Amino acid sequence: MSLQPQEPRFRQLAGILRAAIEAGEYPPGAAVPTAADLGQQYGVSEATANNALAVLRREGLVTSRHGAGTFVRLLPVIHRRAPGRFARSARESGQNRGAFDGEIRHLGMVPSVITHVSREIPPADAAEVLDLAEGQQCLVRRRKMYANDQPVQFAPSYIPLDIAGGTQLEQEDTGPGGTIARMRDLGHAQVRITESVRARRATAEESAFLQLESDQPVIEILHIGWTKDDRAVEVGVWAVPASGWVLDYGWPLD
């Protein structure tokens, strides 16, 4: 098989491989041919074949293990149902992990979450939303979420210390109903959620945890919980691999 000169060779080759993967010729977990093999087979240099594989890596369709090979991604796309997940009914099935649990189990995978709690100076954007003075600490609940032990979401949340200091919110396990229920108990009931979604390159921390290679972007969900007097009392700067998730939103129309 040979390549036409109209579109760049590496892009054509990426297209051929993409089609083969989507057709199931290389099932999830399987190794795709090495750059050397591809170059041989399609009459291009190894560098060009590598370039084609890099395209697929950036799309999240394959992952490469240095020295071992290039493999079709294992994880199916995860759907996240946004408004529903924070409803009281969803929260009461286990500390706000109910929604994530369901979404992952629905795909036949085993979910797990590791929460690490600390006090830190939040990143500038979170500090601004929380209206914290420069350099002021807050509570950080850093959740790391996995499906079948593969990292799928990095979800740090920031809560002001005047609300959370010394309370159960500083425990790893916040008990039934999760942080939202505890904040309500403390007199800081959230009545409104906003989420701002964007694609951006990953931070070093996100990249390390999510095992992102090359230049795979993430989708950032800037999650904010508001009280009835419009104070932001919980801010989440959550990141998922851009290629691996679909975010579902819905609302009634007047």
Partner DNA sequence: CAGTGGTCTAGACCACCAC
Partner DNA sequence: TGGTGGTCTAGACCACTGC
Binding site for a copy of itself (CB under 8 A): 55, 58-59, 77, 79, 82-83, 86-88, 180, 190-201, 215, 217, 219, 225, 242-243, 245-254
Q: Which two tokens stand for residue 205?
A: 């921390």
Q: What are residue 119's phi and psi, to 5 degrees?
A: -115, 125
Stretch that binds DNA, among 8-16, 121-129, 142-150, 151-159 (CB under 7 A): 8-16
Contact 58, 216 (CB under 8 A): yes
Residue 200 partner contact from a copy of itself, DNA, none using kind-dependent CB cut-offs of 5 to 8 Å: a copy of itself
Closest to DNA by CB, 62 vs 104, is: 62
Closer to a copy of itself by CB, 31 or 197: give it: 197
Site residues for DNA, 171-230, by CB under 7 A, read 213-214
Q: How many Å apart are CA 32 and CA 13, to the nearest integer?
A: 13
Residue 43 as a binder of DNA (CB under 7 A): the answer is: yes
Q: Which is nearest to 155 in space by CA: 98, 197, 113? A: 113
Choose, by CB under 7 A, the member of 70, 153, 190, 216 that binds DNA.
Answer: 70
Q: Maximum CA pair distance of the chain? A: 69
- Other Cβ atoms less than 10 A from the Cβ of 249: the count is 11
**Residue 66 within binding range of DNA, rule CB under 7 A:** yes
Q: Residue for token digits 């945890």?
A: 209
- Residue with structure tokens 């010394």? 166
Interacting residue with DNA among 10, 86, 154, 158 (CB under 7 A)? 10
- With CB under 5 to 8 Å by kind, the binding choice for 210 among DNA, a copy of itself, none is none
Residue where the block lists tokens 């159960």: 168
Record the tokens describing residue 241, joined without a space: 């691999």
Q: Nearest Cα to 145, choosing from 83, 226, 206, 62?
A: 206
Q: Determine the interface stretch with DNA among 45-53, 94-102, 104-112, 237-245 (rule: CB under 7 A).
A: 45-53
Say which residues have a Cβ less than 8 Å from residue 102's Cβ, sequence separation at least 6: none
Residue 90 Cβ vs a copy of itself, minimum distance, rounded to whole Å: 10
Measure the N-to-C terminal CA separation of the chain; round to a whole number of Å: 57
Q: What is the per-residue binding string for DNA in 148-177, x denoting contact by CB under 7 A? A: ------------------------------
* Shortest Cβ 114–a copy of itself spacing (Å): 26
Cβ distance 11 to 3 under 8 Å?
A: no
Q: Which does 77 bind (CB under 5 to 8 A by kind): DNA, a copy of itself, none?
A: a copy of itself
Q: Which residues bind DNA (CB under 7 A)?
A: 8-11, 34-37, 43-48, 50-51, 53-54, 57, 64-70, 213-214
